[in-house]
């Protein structure tokens, strides 16, 4: 039987088999961690948000750290890698050109961020202070990223218009930096004239300009 994969954390929460009380705790934790930060959110406030007792929260999670791990693990273990598998199938073609690859990555990751921005924001904030979480994410994602970087470098070497002093790793740093800035703009500052398609087009243009001669 084929395993179900999900492209958003909300889909995972709604469709995974778990007690309804646990599901409510997870949904409330996401909301409060995103609004107030992990450190500033207590288990009692999570219990109040979902209308359950704090004892019920501890019935499903032995502490707040385990609750955070339960939120982050699907993003790392299921959601991001499942999309990466789709990406690997798409780029593993001789006809796939570098500029197409750049556009694919930016559009794919942009949508992924939009679908999961709350949990990604929580995860990003924790990465700044939690070395164990950073190591966990690196262990899972680096093998996937390594394949894609090598594919990008092959395409870059075969493109005479690409600067020879830019590596595949630097290309991904450029893309990642732009996606991070875009996420901060959209979800921290909430600009009134925000247009996702224009933002994607701008990121694609800036990336291609950065690597071409």
Domain membership flag for residue 43: yes
Domain membership flag for residue 89: yes
Domain membership flag for residue 101: yes
Domain membership flag for residue 64: yes
Domain membership flag for residue 180: yes
pLDDT of the residue at 210: 93
- Looking up tokens 């992924």, which residue turns up? 112
Token pair for residue 124? 């990003």
**pLDDT confidence band for 66 (50 / 70 / 90):** very high
pLDDT digits (tens, 9 = 90+) for 24-52: 999 999 999 988 999 999 999 999 999 99
pLDDT digits (tens, 9 = 90+) for 131-181: 888 887 878 777 777 878 888 888 898 888 999 899 999 999 999 899 988
How many domains does the structure of the chain reveal? 1
Domain membership flag for residue 83: yes
Domain membership flag for residue 136: yes
Domain membership flag for residue 58: yes
| Domain that includes residue 91, residue range | 9-211
Question: What CATH number corresponds to the domain at position 29?
Answer: 1.10.357.10
């Amino acid at each position: 039987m084929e395993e179900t994969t999900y492209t958003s954390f909300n889909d995972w929460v709604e469709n995974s088999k778990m007690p309804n009380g646990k599901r409510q705790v997870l949904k409330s934790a996401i909301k409060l961690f995103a609004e107030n930060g992990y450190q500033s959110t207590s288990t009692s406030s999570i219990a109040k948000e979902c209308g359950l007792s704090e004892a019920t929260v501890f019935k499903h999670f032995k502490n707040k750290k385990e609750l955070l791990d339960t939120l982050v693990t699907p993003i790392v273990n299921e959601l991001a890698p499942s999309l990466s598998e789709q990406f690997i199938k798409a780029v593993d073609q001789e006809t796939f050109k570098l500029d197409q690859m750049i556009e694919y990555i930016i559009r794919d990751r942009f949508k992924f961020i939009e679908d999961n921005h709350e949990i990604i924001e929580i995860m990003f904030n924790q990465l700044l202070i939690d070395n164990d979480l950073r190591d966990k994410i690196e262990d899972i994602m680096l093998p996937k990223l390594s394949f894609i970087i090598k594919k990008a470098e092959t395409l870059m070497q075969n493109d005479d218009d690409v600067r020879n002093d830019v590596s595949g790793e630097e290309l991904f740093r450029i893309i990642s930096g732009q996606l991070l800035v875009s996420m901060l703009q959209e979800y921290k500052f909430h600009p009134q004239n925000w247009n996702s398609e224009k933002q994607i087009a701008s990121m694609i243009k800036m990336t291609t300009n950065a690597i071409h001669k």
